[in-house]
């Protein structure tokens, strides 16, 4: 069964600090892995999308890593800002999945405090 597990479920960090979110998956055959940011009451917004050949991808202060061998990904937030408070969702897609059906992780809720 395809699964995506994220950790931690939630975390609180001080403004300006860094943090790293984890994502482990068992989706096979692997196509790509995406990280989304979801503000409360809003739809998810894409941060990065990575295929199996990509190890690292950055989007501003967000850096995602992917280890396709161990089936692990991480999202690193550098110099956190109050606006980074949101849920971060790891989503994995399988090759030729019917209609691009995605497997969602449970998300990590991040709260940045001043």
Partner 1 sequence: GAVVSQHPSWVICKSGTSVKIECRSLDFQATTMFWYRQFPKQSLMLMATSNEGSKATYEQGVEKDKFLINHASLTLSTLTVTSAHPEDSSFYICSATPPGAGNWGTEAFFGQGTRLTVV
CB of 55 to partner 1, least distance (A): 16
Could you tell me the smallest distance in angstroms from the CB atom of residue 57 to partner 1?
Answer: 13
| Min separation Cβ 58 and partner 1, Å | 17
Residue 31 near partner 1 by CB under 8 A: yes
The tokens describing 75, both together, are: 């999202």
* Residue 100 sits in the site that holds partner 1 (CB under 8 A): yes
Using CB under 8 A as the binding rule, whether residue 104 contacts partner 1 is answered as: yes
- 26 to each of 6, 12, 73, 95, 96, how far by Cα in Å? 12, 28, 12, 13, 16
Q: Which residue of 23, 91, 110, 112 would you call a contact of partner 1, by CB under 8 A?
A: 91
- Return the ∠ at Cα 74 (arms to 72 and 75), rounded to 5°: 155
Name the E strands within 1-114: 4-7, 10-14, 19-25, 30-38, 45-51, 56-59, 62-67, 72-77, 86-94, 102-104, 108-113
Positions in 39-58 near partner 1 (CB under 8 A) = 41-46, 49, 51
Interacting residues with partner 1 (CB under 8 A): 31-32, 34, 36, 41-46, 49, 51, 89, 91, 93, 95-102, 104-107, 109
């Amino acid at each position: 069964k395809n699964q995506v597990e994220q950790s931690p479920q939630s975390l609180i960090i001080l403004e300006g600090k860094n943090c790293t979110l984890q994502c482990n998956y068992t989706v096979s055959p692997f196509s790509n892995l995406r990280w989304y940011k979801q503000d409360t009451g809003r739809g998810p917004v894409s941060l990065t999308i990575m295929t199996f050949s990509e190890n690292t991808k950055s989007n501003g202060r967000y850096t995602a890593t992917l280890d396709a061998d161990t089936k692990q990904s991480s999202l690193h937030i550098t110099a956190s800002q109050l606006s980074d408070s949101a849920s971060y969702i790891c989503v994995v897609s399988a090759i030729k999945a019917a209609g691009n059906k995605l497997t969602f992780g449970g998300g990590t809720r991040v709260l940045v405090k001043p």
